Amino acid sequence: MEAKQAPVMGRKLFLYVTAFFSGMSVMAIELGASRLLAPYFSSSQIVWTVIIGTIMIAMAIGNVWGGRAADKNPDPVRLYRRLLITAIWTAAIPFAGRYVIAGVSGLLALFVKSNFLVWASLASCFALFVVPLMLLGTVTPSLMKYATESLDDNGRTGGELEALGTIGSIIGTFLPTFVTIPAVGTARTFLIFAAILAVISLGFFISRKKWIARSAVIAVVITALMFMPFNYSFAFWEDDLTVEDESIYNYLQVKETDRSVILSTNVAFGVQSIMMKEGGLTGMYYDYALAAPLMAEKCEDVLILGLGTGTFASQCLKYFPGCEVTGVEIDEKIVALSREYFGLPEEVNAVVGDGRSYLTTSGTYDVIMVDAYQDITIPFQMSSVEFFTEVLEHLNPGGVMVVNMSMRSDAEGSMNEYLMDTIASVFPYCATVKVSGGSNLELIATADAEGFERLSERIDALGEDDPLSAIMPRVEEGLIPVEGGNLILTDDKAPVELLGMRVLDEMISTELEALRGQIKENGIMSLLE
């Protein structure tokens, strides 16, 4: 063994450095994977489970492989070649990852009829991340072989290597989330850690006086890529985006049309917020939600949980002069975008934080809007009976809650049915209205027995010149009372991820039914015609 060791391998410090940065890279790749997949598959618990499971499988295979390889041939050159391959693969992910995800998802969508979210995210994860993580899994057992000098210090050396790898993993958990991803984005985060692995490999090969030119070129190229300007777009098929950015919580996309400014936080599920440039009604769910302040006994204080770009807040100020509006938004960058591109009025008190946490410590309001659901992504803590009980407790007498439900499903046992049953178990008077031309469903709830009667009276009293007179009669006509049922979400049991996955399956099944028929009838090549 001694004859095959490079001089640097006789110094435990270099081994410890390798263990430290390899552990750091594992977690950096894991967090990068979550950010790479989230715009396409959401950031739900299901996707995180897939990512963690994939990492565990890859690391386990790598551990076994690394240990056996080191026993069979204890030449450390093999390990550092693997690290170099890992660096190259990791550096390629920012450039190839989005196309791999799109290709894998498109192929699976043609054949997978259920659990698409699981299979597509799993297949994408395996295609992109199993190889580099498996290679990183070989590091610790290999280093233990190289570093062990006698049976007397096996335990100490192994413990030190594991400890340094763990410390590296801890730093690799915080560094991408709070530093590199917000500062330079997901793509360059992959490149940063790829460069670190390449430099470590280069250090070894310099000491061994082998592979110096190859490893140096790779290290220099990867490092140079970090500083080169390139357009990395998650939605690579989109043109003329005004803003494409990332925050701690979201992928962010701002797009302008002749009539509107649009914010999307997911490339697959459409619009998150919209502002009409002429400043009128949007034709979207915000208009329907204005029934809530019209229905409330008074409209002096409005709270919006899930401010987004502030369209509903702006409308409340416009159509209900004199009211004070507070909006809570967990993503600070969305608040900044709302001020810069969506004309959020300065009068709106925009609070950066979690909606439920803020509600717990806040005062009471005449209207509370819950707009924290984004298609299949549902924060479970804002869907439970305990949460809606808190909302009721923070409403003034005659107060009204309105909830925007954007899930595209009305099937029995759907997410919408769970939410309706849960809310109806807290609020005695509830009704829903379907938004015309979209998938949104607005639920209006109150503890005031006269609330819906008051809404009807005020709609009748609207003048012909009142902009709300064009939409509110349609809202009233579409109201359907919620009877309630036994599908109750609680803080302890809220399977929102599985319910959301069911919604996704229904969407894909509906949208691809015709496509499958075309392929069956005319063959797959007909898609290219």
Question: What would the pLDDT profile of 245-258 be if each residue is shown by its tens digit?
Answer: 777 777 788 888 88
Question: What would the pLDDT profile of 25-56 be if each residue is shown by its tens digit?
Answer: 999 999 999 888 877 777 677 788 889 999 99
* Residue 371 designated active-site: yes
pLDDT, position 479: 95
pLDDT, position 514: 62
Please, what sign has the CA dihedral across residues 509, 511, 517, 523? negative
Residue 283 CA to residue 275 CA, distance in Å, equals 10
Question: What would the pLDDT profile of 290-322 be if each residue is shown by its tens digit?
Answer: 999 999 999 999 999 999 889 999 999 999 999
Residue 410 CA to residue 165 CA, distance in Å, equals 49
Instruction: State residue 37 phi and psi, 5-degree precision.
Output: -85, -30
Question: Whole-structure pTM over 0.85, yes or no?
Answer: no
Residue 527 CA to residue 109 CA, distance in Å, equals 14
Q: What is the CATH number of domain 7-227?
A: 1.20.1250
Question: What residues does CATH 1.20.1250 cover in the chain?
Answer: 7-227
Q: What fold, for 281-496?
A: Rossmann fold (3.40.50)
Residue 68 CA to residue 72 CA, distance in Å, equals 6
Instruction: State residue 349 phi and psi, 5-degree precision.
Output: -80, 100
Question: What residues does CATH 3.40.50.150 cover in the chain?
Answer: 281-496
Question: What would the pLDDT profile of 333-390 be if each residue is shown by its tens digit?
Answer: 999 999 999 889 999 999 999 999 999 999 999 999 999 887 667 788 888 999 999 9
Which residue among 371, 375, 421, 505 is the active-site one?
A: 371
371, 305 contact by CB (below 8 A): yes
Q: How deeply is 411 buried, as exposed, middle or buried, from its count of CB atoms within 10 A (0-12, 13-18, 19+)?
A: exposed
Pairing of strands 441-446, 395-405: antiparallel
